Amino acid sequence: MWNKVDKSQSPFVSIITPVYNGEKHLEKCIQSVLNQTYPNFEYVIVNNCSTDRTLEIAESYALKDDRIKIHTNTDFLSVVDSHNKAFSLASENSEYCKIVGADDWLYPECVSQMVALAEQNPSIAMVTSYVLVGTKIGWDGLPYPSTFLTGRDVCRMRLLDRILIFGGPSASLLRRSVVEQHQPFYKPGNYHGDTEAYLDILQDHNFGFIHQVLSFNFRGEDSRTTHFLQRVDSYRAAEIEELERYGPIYLSREELHIRLSDARRGYYKFLATNLLELRGKEFWDYHHERMNTLGTPISYFKLSWYTFLRIIDLVLNPKRTVEGLYRRLNQH
C-alpha cells in the first residue's frame, strides 16, 4: 500500500536504533530498515560509546544513504537511559517513532502496515504485531481479527488473563506526540520499562495489532538486556510489579485481590525451587532489589514454608524429580 504513495503525503517516521558493541548483528538490522517499503522515514543510529566496529559500520551505511543519521553519546548510558536518549532524538517533524534493537530486524512491510493501521484511528498510541522469536512466533494471544482495542481492554487482558500482547520495543510503532508527553518514557531502573510505559500510555489511548509476523527478536547471549533477564528469571517479579502498580487502575478490587494472591503464591513457589537449585548472587540480588523497590521485601518465613513444601513434593514424587533433574542437565 504505502510503497505506492507519494512520499510527501505519507507521515514522517523516526526509526531509531540504540546500540552498544553491536557489530555482530548491526548490518542485518540496518539493512532491514533500509529495505522498508515505507517511503518517508529517517533512521537514527545511537552509538552508546561502542568499543568495537559499531561506529565504523554505521558510518559506512550513512555515507551511502542520507536517511541515516548517527549520534554518539558523550558518556556511556545504561540500557534504559540509552533507550530514553534514543526517543529524545526522534525528529520533531515525525508523526511516529519506532525503536529497533541492534540485534533485531524488521520485515519489509513492517512500518508501512503499522502506519496504515495507526492512520485509520488517531486515538491509537501504539501498534504492534506477532514477532518471530528465534524460531518461534511470540505474542500471538489476541484473537483474530482484533486489530483495534481500547487501551483499557488490552491492559485488562494483560493483567487479568496474562495474555502476552506488547511484543517489546522492536515490535512496536508509537505515536511520537504520546511518547513526548510521557518523559522519561522508560522509567529508570526498570528492565521491563517498555511494558510499564505501555500500561501507562494506554490509560488514555488505544491500541492497534496486526496479525502478521513483522519483526524478528534475537534472544542469544549477545542480547545484553534479554540475556540478563533470562539469567535472573525476571518475569514473575515483573508480573507482581505490574499488578501492584497498574492493577488498581485497570482491575476491580476483587479481580486485583485474586490475581495478586495467585501471582504471589506462584512467585514464592518459584523462589523456593530456585533456592533448592542453589541459584547464585546475581539471581537473589535482582529479586531482593525488585521486591524492596515495591515495598514488599521477600519474606523469609514464606520462602522457608514454600521450600519445605517443595522438598515434600520432591520426596513424594521421585519419578517426576528424576525427570526434572534429567531435563535440567540436558539444558546445559
How far, in Å, CA of 45 to CA of 15, rounded? 9
* pLDDT for res 273: 93
DSSP 52-121: SSHHHHHHHHHHH-TTEEEEE-SS---HHHHHHHHHHTS-TT-SEEEE--TT-EE-TTHHHHHHHHHHH-
Residue type, 306: Y
- Separation CA 17–CA 25 (nearest Å): 12
C-alpha to C-alpha distance for 143 and 302, rounded to whole angstroms:
38
Final residue of a domain: which of 211, 228, 245?
Answer: 228
Q: What would the DSSP string read from start to end of 207-270?
A: EEEEEEEEEEE--STT-HHHHHHHHTT-HHHHHHHHHHHHHHHHS-HHHHHHHHHHHHHHHHHH
Dihedral over alpha carbons 12, 13, 14, 16 (to 10 degrees): -160
Q: What is the pLDDT of residue 191?
A: 76
Last residue of a domain, one of 228, 249, 283: 228
Q: How confident is the model at residue 331 (pLDDT cuts 50, 70, 90)?
A: low
Distance CA 92, CA 176 (A): 8
What's the CATH code of the domain at 157? 3.90.550.10
Same domain, 71 and 155: yes
- Residue 170 DSSP symbol: G
- Domain ends where: 228, 248, 278? 228
Q: What is the pLDDT of residues 225-247, one digit of tens each?
A: 667 878 899 999 999 999 999 99
> Within 10 Å of residue 319's Cβ, how many Cβ atoms?
7
276: its cell numbers: 533448592
Kindly calculate the radius of gyration of the chain based on its CA atoms and give it in whole angstroms: 21
pLDDT in tens, 297-310: 999 999 999 999 99
Query: Taking 50 as the threshold, does the pLDDT of residue 316 lie above it?
Result: yes
Shared domain check, 286 and 223:
no
Predicted local confidence at residue 143, as pLDDT: 87
Q: Do both 247 and 196 map to the same domain?
A: no
**Residue 188: what pLDDT?**
84
Average pLDDT of the residues of the chain: 91
What pLDDT, in 10s, does the model give residues 77-106?
A: 998 999 999 999 999 999 999 999 999 999
Is 50 exceeded by the pLDDT of residue 4? no
Q: Is the pTM of this model over 0.85?
A: yes
pLDDT of residue 3: 39
Percent of the chain with pLDDT over 70: 91
Cell numbers given for 30: 540496518
Do 223 and 99 share a domain, yes or no? yes
Give yes or no: residues 171 and 49 share one domain.
yes
Residue 74 CB neighbours (<10 A): 7
Contact residues for 225 (Cβ-Cβ < 8 A; gap 6+) = 79, 191
Question: Residue 224: pLDDT band by 50, 70, 90 thresholds?
Answer: low
Residue 318, all three cell numbers:
521421585
Task: Let me know whether 19 and 161 are in one domain.
Answer: yes
What mean pLDDT comes out for the span 13-29?
Answer: 97
Name which residue leads in pLDDT, 110 or 8. 110
Report pLDDT for 2: 35
- Do residue 105 and residue 140 come from a single domain? yes
- Say how many Å lie between the first and final Cα of the chain, rounded: 47
Whether residues 76 and 200 share a domain: the answer is yes
* Contact (CB, 8 A) for 162 and 169: no
Residues 41, 62: Cα–Cα separation, whole Å: 14
Using alpha carbons, select from 38, 156, 173, 11 the residue that is nearest to residue 97. Answer: 173
Kindly tell me if the per-residue pLDDT of 172 is higher than 70: yes
5 pLDDT band, cuts 50/70/90, is very low
Expressed as residue numbers, the domain containing 243 is 232-330
Q: Which of 73, 68, 111 is nearest to 57 (CA)?
A: 68
Q: Do 287 and 197 share a structural domain? A: no
pLDDT digits (tens, 9 = 90+) for 248-284: 999 999 999 999 999 999 999 999 999 998 999 999 9
Q: Quick check: 181 and 192 in contact, CB under 8 A? A: no
Q: What is the pLDDT of residue 61?
A: 98
Task: Examine the domain organization and report whether 160 and 277 are in the same domain.
Answer: no
Domain shared by 177 and 263, yes or no: no
CA–CA distance, 111 with 97 (Å, rounded to integer): 10
**For residue 78, what is its C-alpha cell?**
545504561
Residue 279 sits in the same domain as residue 264: yes
Alpha-carbon span 267 to 233, nearest angstrom = 11
Q: Check whether 179 has a pLDDT greater than 60.
A: yes
> What's the pLDDT at 123?
97
Q: Which helix (H) or strand (E) holds 27?
A: helix 26-34
Rounded to the nearest angstrom, the gap between the alpha carbon of residue 183 and the centroid of all alpha carbons in its chain is: 17
Q: Which amino acid is at 241?
A: E
Q: Find, among 324, 243, 310, the residue nearest to 271 by Cα.
A: 310
Q: How many domains are there within the chain?
A: 2
